């Protein structure tokens, strides 16, 4: 879709969403200038690659879309235009192979982000994208929504552009660039922004000093969590989490973090129930514990009859209190359904991602209704999703949607 006019677009934010918008526009012949506050782009993307970059998921599209929960309907158009299959083809086009793990998660062949980002930046530079690093966007300098102010090491700079793409990220891991400082700038221009909240985050429980000093860092493998969602429906998930100094974190609790966070906000705390032996039924556990334990301690009895030891035994002792821990009947119930009271989320800066952001009803497609010619994409928009490649997929797809809509808007003018 080549443009006939020499448009100039400013993309602010060089994460996956901004880079994707830049690629779409540069590919159509638009002059793209990309600005980022940091010394280099894609810092969070690179961090995501450290523990094994999970870039998308291979499950059926109908299931995939549901991962965006209450925002599925709004995210769907991005994915219809750029789905996980298209994303994988795009990655392959950068010379990086992908594979599907046993859980359906999709990874680059070497699990890393750096080779992909390197190849991508080379291609973007080749397409004419100009990168302006250490340019922190500070807002608008004039009444025109396309007159942008940047703080740079050489002083303040004003920039004019025909259209603007904002891809400023959420508010976690601020030291990598996305610090949420854009919220008051947009709110001041009449853009409605839902408060940025931690998503895919850990929770504080208030363990005793004795328990956390012994078990902080211990993995809870394999357990199940049950809890009642906002509609009162019982939800059960199996997986792994980690006991921390102050509570729990890990993929199993991350998957519930949005609704649990909202429940804490509404009621002051939330309770989840841990099943410490998801492969054993309650009757078997009770029968094993009822067998005589002779002179063995309860800890020894738990270990020899059920293989419960270490952090799992410690948790039972921590959460039940001495009397219930000594009673096989109560212990058996607790092993299948041990209440853990979650008091608060960990701070947003520690979270994998943020919820909240520019509300969909403040946008027409990706364009900010209050600021025609300014488009938003990526994590700064009001959606959230669990880990599993859903975050990056929506960032890429929304960046592409914003780039295409900006192009159409410029051409229509």
Ligand X SMILES: Cc1cc2nc3c(=O)[nH]c(=O)nc-3n(C[C@H](O)[C@H](O)[C@H](O)COP(=O)(O)OP(=O)(O)OC[C@H]3O[C@@H](n4cnc5c(N)ncnc54)[C@H](O)[C@@H]3O)c2cc1C
Residues that bind ligand X (CB under 6 A): 12-18, 35-38, 41, 43-45, 47-48, 53-54, 136-137, 167-169, 172-173, 177-178, 181-182, 352-353, 378-379, 387, 389, 391-392, 395
Cα dihedral sign, 42-47-53-58:
negative
Give the angle 134-136-142 at the CA atoms, nearest 5°.
135
Q: How far is the CB of 71 from ligand X (least distance, A)?
A: 14
DSSP character at residue 276: S
Residue number, 135 or 344, with CB nearest to ligand X? 135
CA–CA dist 347, 313 (Å, integer): 29
Least CB distance from residue 111 to ligand X, whole Å? Answer: 10
Nearer to ligand X by Cβ, of 215 and 254: the residue is 254
In the bound state with ligand X, the residue whose beta carbon lies nearer, of 252 and 285, is: 252
Q: Contact, 343 vs 385, CB < 8 A?
A: no
Which residue lies nearer to ligand X by CB, 188 or 339?
188
Query: Which CB, 158 or 281, lies closer to ligand X?
Result: 158
Residues 136, 191, 68, 99: is their CA dihedral positive or negative?
A: negative
Beta sheet of 155-160, edge-to-edge order? 136-140, 147-152, 155-160
Rounded Cα distance between 211 and 145, Å, is 55
Q: Quote the least distance from Cβ 380 to ligand X, whole Å.
A: 6
Nearer to ligand X among residue 373 and residue 389 (C-beta): 389
Nearest to 400 by CA among 7, 26, 4: 26
Q: Report the length, in residues, of the chain.
A: 413
Q: Which two tokens mark 321?
A: 């209190």
Of 47 and 333, CB closest to ligand X: 47
* β pairing state of 193-199 and 234-243: unpaired
Least distance (Å) between residue 12 CB and ligand X:
5
Q: Beta partners for 194?
A: 357
| String of DSSP letters for 102-115 | TTSEEEETTS-SHH
Output the smallest distance, CB 301 to ligand X, in A. Answer: 40
CA distances from 141 to 107, 138, 144, 146 (A): 42, 9, 8, 9
User: Using an 8 Å Cβ cutoff, are 261 and 197 in contact?
Assistant: yes
According to DSSP H, which parts of 223-309 are helical? 251-254, 257-267, 282-290, 298-306
In the bound state with ligand X, the residue whose beta carbon lies nearer, of 3 and 76, is 76
Please state the closest distance from residue 408 (CB atom) to ligand X, in A.
Answer: 21
Give min distance, CB of 114 to ligand X, in A.
14
Q: Give the span between the Cα atoms of 347 and 218, in whole angstroms.
A: 21
Q: How far is the CB of 280 from ligand X (least distance, A)?
A: 32
Provide the minimum distance between the beta carbon of 175 and ligand X in the complex, in angstroms, as a whole number.
10
Nearer to ligand X, 67 or 312 (CB): 67
Structure tokens at 313: 């035994």
């Amino acid at each position: 879709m080549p443009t006939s006019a020499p448009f100039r677009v400013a993309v602010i934010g060089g994460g996956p969403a901004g880079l994707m918008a830049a690629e779409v526009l540069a590919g159509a012949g638009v002059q793209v200038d990309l600005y980022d506050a940091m010394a280099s782009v894609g810092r969070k993307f690179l961090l995501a690659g450290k523990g094994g970059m999970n870039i998308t998921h291979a499950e059926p599209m109908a299931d995939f879309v549901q991962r965006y929960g209450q925002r599925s309907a709004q995210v769907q158009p991005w994915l219809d235009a750029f789905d996980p299959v298209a994303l994988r083809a795009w990655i392959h086009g950068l010379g990086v192979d992908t594979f599907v793990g046993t859980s359906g998660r999709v990874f680059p062949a070497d699990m890393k982000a750096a080779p992909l980002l390197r190849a991508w930046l080379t291609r973007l530079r080749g397409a004419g994208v100009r990168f302006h690093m250490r340019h922190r966007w500070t807002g608008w300098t004039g009444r025109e929504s396309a007159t942008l102010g940047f703080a740079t090491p050489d002083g303040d700079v004003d920039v004019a552009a025909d259209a603007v793409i904002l891809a400023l990220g959420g508010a976690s891991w601020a030291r990598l660039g996305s610090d949420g400082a854009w919220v008051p700038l947009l709110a001041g221009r009449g853009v409605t922004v839902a408060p940025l909240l931690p998503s895919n985050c850990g929770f504080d429980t208030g363990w005793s000093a004795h328990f956390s000093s012994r078990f902080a860092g211990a993995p809870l493998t394999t357990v199940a969590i049950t809890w009642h969602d906002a509609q009162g429906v019982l939800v059960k998930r199996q997986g792994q989490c980690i006991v921390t100094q102050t509570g729990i974190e890990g993929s199993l609790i991350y998957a519930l973090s949005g609704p649990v966070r909202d429940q804490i906000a509404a009621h002051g705390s939330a309770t989840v129930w841990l099943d410490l032996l998801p492969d054993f039924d309650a009757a078997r556990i009770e029968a094993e514990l009822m067998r005589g334990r002779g002179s063995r301690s309860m800890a020894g009895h738990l270990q020899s009859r059920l293989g419960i030891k270490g952090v799992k035994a410690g948790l039972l002792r921590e959460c039940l209190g001495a009397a219930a821990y000594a009673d096989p009947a109560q212990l058996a119930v607790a092993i299948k359904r041990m209440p853990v009271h979650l008091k608060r989320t960990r701070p947003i800066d520690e979270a994998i991602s943020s919820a909240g952001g520019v509300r969909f009803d403040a946008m027409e497609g990706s364009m900010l209704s209050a600021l025609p010619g300014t488009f938003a994409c990526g994590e700064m928009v009001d959606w959230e999703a669990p880990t599993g490649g859903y975050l990056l997929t929506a960032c890429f797809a929304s960046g592409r949607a914003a780039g295409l809509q900006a192009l159409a808007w410029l051409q229509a003018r």
